[in-house]
Amino acid sequence: MWARQVVSFKPALTWNRSGIDLAPSLTVGINDERNHKRPKLMIAIVSILLLLAAVALPGLWVKRVLKKYSEPADRYREQGTGAELARHLLDSFDLQKVAVEITPDGDHYDPQAKAVRLTQDKYDGCSLTAITVAAHEVGHAIQDSRDESLFANRARLARVAATAQKDRKSVV
């Protein structure tokens, strides 16, 4: 493929024996197909970086906030633990059949087992983080009891993600 020749005229800074001179210069260069693809590649790279930032940064921020408010660990000791709050909220919404359990697998609501599952630190914890996470998971149980379509979509996505993660672990 023949390359196109490009001629451009622009001022340039040059050096001569008498010093620096600002003089116009004539530039002749080769403009091939690779130069036309560079802007598209740059846009693609910037778009991917922005997408990654939009996905990763909120999660990092949430982790930071939860860690920050996990201390003091006994902030709400008089009011009760995360598990006690979860049970109270579930009972308030007539969801006595939903269990509150300890799990090592991370805080979540299991719609099949009808159980709010909290990690040990949230289950027995009295920090702002513990009660906030417990209330959040109870919110999922309430959504499930009302048959909300957004919750059903979320549950479907969670099942797909859990299956994919199990498959990934079996490969490694």
What burial class does residue 105 get, using C-beta atoms within 10 Å of its C-beta: 0-12 exposed, 13-18 middle, 19+ buried? exposed
Put residue 94 in one of left, alpha, beta given phi > 0 → left and psi -120 to 50 → alpha.
left
Known catalytic membership, residue 137? yes
Amino acid symbol at 134: A
Q: Which of 33, 78, 101, 137 is catalytic?
A: 137
Q: ∠ CA 128-130-132 to the nearest 5 degrees?
A: 65
- What was the pLDDT predicted at 12? 55
Q: Which residues lie closer than 8 Å to 25 by C-beta, 6 or more apart?
A: 9, 10, 11, 12, 14
pLDDT in tens, 44-57: 888 999 998 888 88
Any idea where the domains of the chain sit in the sequence?
A: 4-66, 69-171
Residue with structure tokens 């999922």? 140
Task: Name which residue leads in pLDDT, 40 or 107.
Answer: 107
Does the global pTM surpass 0.85?
no
Q: Sorting pLDDT into bands at 50, 70 and 90, what band is 65?
A: confident
> What's the pLDDT band for 133 if we cut at 50, 70, 90?
very high
pLDDT over 90 at 138, yes or no: yes
What is the average pLDDT score of the chain? 79
